[in-house]
Amino acid sequence: MTPVHEVSAEEIAEFTRGLNALGPQQRRILAVLIPRLIALEERGDPEGAIRIIDQIRTILLERRRTCH
């Protein structure tokens, strides 16, 4: 099993701010993608995990562009 990264209070606050900035559609999509990312990591599938991370990044960047 992969060691778990210790998450700081600052990282949690940054994640929460980012999540709160998202619209409901982006939150629903992330609610599906994040568990898939965790499952891929547990299976040891780095290529799959990278694809999911790219999808998440795209969602977050789309939201930033629509907010500005």
User: What are the residue boundaries of the structural domains of the chain, listed by start?
Assistant: 24-67
Angle, vertex CA 36, rays to CA 30 and CA 57, nearest 5: 45
For residue 43, the model assigns a pLDDT of 93
For residue 58, the model assigns a pLDDT of 85
For residue 52, the model assigns a pLDDT of 87
Structure tokens at 6: 């210790």
> How do the pLDDT tens digits run along the chain, 68 residues long?
455 568 789 988 888 888 888 888 888 888 888 899 889 989 999 899 888 888 888 877 776 666 55
Burial-class residue 54 by CB neighbours within 10 Å (0-12, 13-18, 19+): exposed
Q: How far apart are CA 53 and CA 47, in angstroms?
A: 10
Tokens 């998202």 -> residue: 22
Beta-carbon count within 10 A of 52 CB: 20
